[in-house]
Chain A
Amino acid sequence: MNVFRLAGDMTHLISVLVLLLKIHTIKSCAGVSLKTQELYALVFSTRYLDIFTDFTSLYNTVMKLIFLGSSFSIVWYMRHHKLVQRSYDKDHDTFRHQFLVLPCLILALLIHEQFTFKEVMWTFSIYLEAVAILPQLVLLQRTRNIDNLTGQYVFFLGAYRSLYILNWIYRYFTEPHYVHWISTTSMFCVVLFCFGFTIFKWYLISVLLLTLSAWMSGFVQTLLYADFFYYYINSWKNNVKLTLQA
């Protein structure tokens, strides 16, 4: 466990807990994409299948339970809590997430390390996590405004992914048997940046790139936040309301 990974887990924890607490206290989910929350609940469910069979550490198990609990609670609030439900913007949150789930499932069935149910489900969760934020980013682009609830949520998620990449780089240099993925990944990241930040292109490219490896999906996921970070920091610097360009 290195400092980057611990910091990454903490920012990931903060992002989900801040979202859950805010929805619980102000009883509103304005600006939050239910599709993204459902995708995250699916990511955690398919990734933590081994929560009761393989014990890594108390920290690992507790964090898994918190992530599972918080993601399902957020989905429950947005689907069944009568007050919260009213503030859900279903007219704009129309990203057909089956277009994300199916390609990731097919990719996981084609490209994995071993053909076992747990391994394929784990690979599927890695691919899906990379694109799970897309409905939320599309919703932000459509509604054009970002109230601080969603802004902080996406910001902390982006911070979590960036710290995880630092964690991978750190492990690459400290653990000898780490894979030599930096070269391929960095090469494709350059290509990715050349394509620009429109969501649709991001979606196509990111699904395409997932085929390379689980590492790639981590990188792709972080790159998806790149343009959001750019706008978020600019708005924070100029102290203006954050609006995203089309």
Chain B
Amino acid sequence: EDSELLKDEL
């Protein structure tokens, strides 16, 4: 999911 992909970013 999008948000999982973005979660490792700050």
Contact = CB atoms under 8 A, between A and B. Distances in A.
B5 to A, nearest CB: 7
A122 B7 contact: yes
A123 B3 contact: yes
A122 B2 contact: no
Interface in A169-189: 171, 175, 177-179, 181
Contacts of B9: 5, 164, 167
Nearest to B3: A113
Name, among B3, B6, B9, B10, the residue most crowded by chain A CB atoms within 10 Å (CB to CB).
Answer: B10
Contacts of A126: 6
Interface of A: 5, 9, 12, 50, 54, 56, 60, 63-64, 67, 112-113, 119, 122-123, 126, 164, 167, 171, 175, 177-179, 181, 213-215
Given A171-B5, A181-B2, 15 more contacts: A12-B10, A54-B7, A56-B8, A60-B10, A63-B10, A64-B10, A67-B10, A113-B1, A113-B3, A167-B9, A177-B5, A179-B2, A179-B5, A214-B3, A214-B6
Interface of B: 1-10
Contacts of A122: 3, 7
Contacts of A213: 2
Contacts of B7: 50, 54, 56, 122
A178 B3 contact: no
Contacts of B10: 9, 12, 60, 63-64, 67
Contacts of A54: 7
B1 to A, nearest CB: 5
A64 B8 CA distance: 11
Nearest to A178: B5
